[in-house]
Amino acid sequence: MRTVSRLAVFLALLPGAASAHLVSTGFGPVTDGAWHFALSPEQFLPMAAFALLAGLRGPVHARRVMFVLPVSWFVAVLVAIPLPVGWASIAMAAAFLLTGGLLAADIKLPQTLIAIFAVVLGAVSGGAYGAEDGSLLASLGAAITIFVLVALVSSAVLPLRAGWGVIAVRVLGSWTAATGLLLVGWMLHGRS
Amino acid sequence: MRVKHLTLVTTLTLMAMPAEAHIKQGEATGFLSGLAHPVSGLDHIIAMVAVGLWGAQLGAPAIWMLPVTFPMVMAFGGFLGLIGMPLPGVEIGIALSGVLLGAVVLMEVKAPLYLAAALVGLFGLYHGYAHGAELPPGENGLLYSLGFVLATGALHAAGIGIGTIHRWGWGRTALRLAGAGISLGGVSFLFEALR
C-alpha cells in the first residue's frame, strides 16, 4: 500500500511539459529557434516581403539588407525592449502594411532608406519575438534563418528587371499589404 | 488490494494534462476557413473572375494593375466590415457587380484605366465588406486573412488565365459569351437581393 501511495504521489507531482510557443525538433535550441521562426508567419512573411523589395532594387540593396535585418533583429531580441500590452499585434500589422505597400508600389528607395527600414523592421519584429521567446540560442537560430531567407528570396528576384516576373512580385506585395489591413480590422474588431 | 488499485486509478485519472499554453492549435482551420470564404458564394466568384477577364480584354497596364489594386481595395472593404462601419445595400452592390462587370466583358468596353479601376474598386469594397462582416468568430486573424487574400488573388489569376484566349478570334467570342453568362448570373442574384 505504501509503495502504491508513493507511486501515486510521484505520478501526481510529475510536471507536465510546458510547450508554450516552442518547436521541439530534438536537434537542440538553435534548430528549434530556426523552425520556430520558419513556422511563425507573422515574423516570416513581412521579412520575405522586405527581401523581395531589396532584391528588386538590386544586389547592393539586397546585400545590405541580408546583414542589417538579422543583426538588428537579433540585437532587439537581446536588448529585450519592454513592450506595452498589445504592441506585438500592432507591430505585426504595421510590418505587413508597410513592407507590402512598399513592394506593391515598387518604390525606388535609396540604399540608406532601405537600410533604415531594415533596422526598423528587424527591431520591431525582434522586439515582438523577444517578448514571446527570447532564449539566446533559439534566437541565434532564428537570426540565421532570417539571413538565409533574405539571401534566398532576394537572389531569386535579382534577375527580374521588368515584365511578368516583377508584376507577380508586386502582386505578392499587394497581398501582403491587404493582409496587414485586414489584421488592423481584426484588432479593432476584437476591441469593439 | 482493491484500495491500492483504487488509489492508483484515481491518481492517474486526476493527473494534470501537459500545460500546452499558446500551442498553435487549429490554425490550419483558420487558414482553410479564410481560403474557403471568397469561393463559398457564386456571386463572389463570378465577379472576381469577371475582373480578371476584363483586365485581359483591356490589356496592359490594366491586366496587372487591377489584380494589384483589387485585393487592397477588397481588404479595405473587409476592414470596414470588421470594424462594423455601416454600408447600405451590400447584397445589391454585390449582385450589381456581377451584372455590370459581366456587361463590360460582354461589350468589351475599352474604358480608361482610372474608370476601370474606380468601377472595380467600388465593387471590391462591397465584396470585401460582406466578407469582413461575415467573419467566423474565434479564428486566427492572420491565417484567416492570408487564406482570404490568397483565394481572392487565385480567382483573379483564374480570370486572367482564362482571359488569355482573347488573342484568338474564337477566344474573343467565348469571352463575350462568358460575360453574358456572368451578367445573367448577376441579374438572378439581383432579383434575390431585391426580394
Q: Which residues on A lie below 8 Å from B83 (Cβ)? A: 185, 188-189, 192
A33: pLDDT strictly greater than 50: yes
Q: Is residue A19 part of a domain?
A: no
Per the domain annotation, does A16 fall within a domain?
Answer: no
Q: Cβ–Cβ of A20/B148 closer than 8 Å?
A: no
- Using N-to-C axis directions, what is the helix angle for A136-157 and A29-38, rounded to 10°? 50
Residue A18: inside a domain, yes or no? no
Question: Given an 8 Å threshold on Cβ–Cβ distance, is A178 in contact with B143?
Answer: no
Q: Residue A148's pLDDT is what?
A: 93
pLDDT for res A10: 55
pLDDT-based confidence at residue B29 (cuts at 50, 70, 90):
low
Query: Does the beta-carbon distance from A182 to B150 stay under 8 Å?
Result: no
Residue A11 lies in a domain: no
Mean pLDDT within A81-89: 69
Give how far B195 is from chain A: nearest CA, Å.
31
Tell me the mean pLDDT in the region B180-192: 89
Give the residue, B102 or A192, on which the prediction is more confident: B102
Say if A158 falls within a structural domain: yes
Q: Confirm whether A85 is domain-assigned.
A: yes
pLDDT for residue A53: 92
**Nearest residue on chain B to A40, judged by CA atoms?**
B24
Q: What is the pLDDT of residue A150?
A: 93
Does the CB of A86 have a partner CB in chain B at under 8 Å? Answer: no
pLDDT in tens, A95-116: 899 999 999 888 888 888 999 9
Average pLDDT over every residue of B121-145: 80
DSSP secondary structure, B124-167, as one string: HHHHHHHHHHTPPTT--HHHHHHHHHHHHHHHHHHHHHHHGGGG
Q: How many domains does chain A have?
A: 1
The yes-or-no verdict on residue A183 having pLDDT over 90 is no
- Residues in CB range of A47: below 8 A, 6 or more apart: A69, A99, A121, A125, A146, A149, A150
Helix (H, G, I), strand (E, B) or coil at B195: coil
Give ∠ CA A118-A120-A123 in degrees, rounded to 5: 105
Answer yes or no: do A17 and B19 touch at CB < 8 A: yes
In the predicted model, what is the mean pLDDT of residues B69-88? 85
In whole angstroms, what separates CA A86 from the centre of its chain? 17
Looking at the predicted structure, is the pLDDT value of residue A17 above 50? Answer: no
Tell me which amino acid residue B181 is.
G
Contact residues, chain B, for A88 at CB < 8 Å: none
CB A137 within 8 A of CB A37: no
Distance (Å, whole) CA A42 – CA A22: 15
Hey, are the CB atoms on B14 and A12 less than 8 Å from each other? yes
Residue A12 lies in a domain: no
State the pLDDT confidence band at B8, using cuts at 50, 70 and 90: low
Query: What is the mean pLDDT of the segment spanning B145-153?
Result: 85
**Residue in A128, A54, A139, A140 with CA at minimum distance from that of residue A94:** A128
pLDDT at B24 over 70: no
- A144-156 pLDDT, tens digit per residue, is 999 999 999 999 9
pLDDT at res. A85: 64
Asked if B142 and A5 come within 8 Å (Cβ–Cβ), the reply is no
Give the ipTM of the model, two decimals please: 0.73
Q: In this complex, is the C-beta atom of A49 within 8 Å of any C-beta atom belonging to chain B? A: no
Partner-chain contact B8 A7, CB within 8 Å: yes
Q: Tell me how close the Cα of A60 comes to any Cα of chain B, in angstroms.
A: 27
Find, among B171, B168, B185, B77, the residue nearest to B130 by Cα.
B77
Neighbours of A67 (CB within 10 A): 14
Greatest CA separation for chain A: 80
Find the CB nearest A186 among B15, B72, B145: B145
DSSP letters for B48-90: HHHHHHHHHHH-TTHHHHHHHHHHHHHHHHHHHHHHT---TTH
Pick the more confident residue, B159 or A134. B159
| B30 in Cβ contact with B147 (< 8 Å) | yes
A163-170 mean pLDDT: 83
Q: Do B78 and A181 touch (CB under 8 A)?
A: yes
- pLDDT bin (cut points 50, 70, 90) of residue B148 is confident
Assess if residue A76 is contained within a domain: yes
Domain hosting A181: range is: 27-191
Q: What is the mean pLDDT of chain B?
A: 80
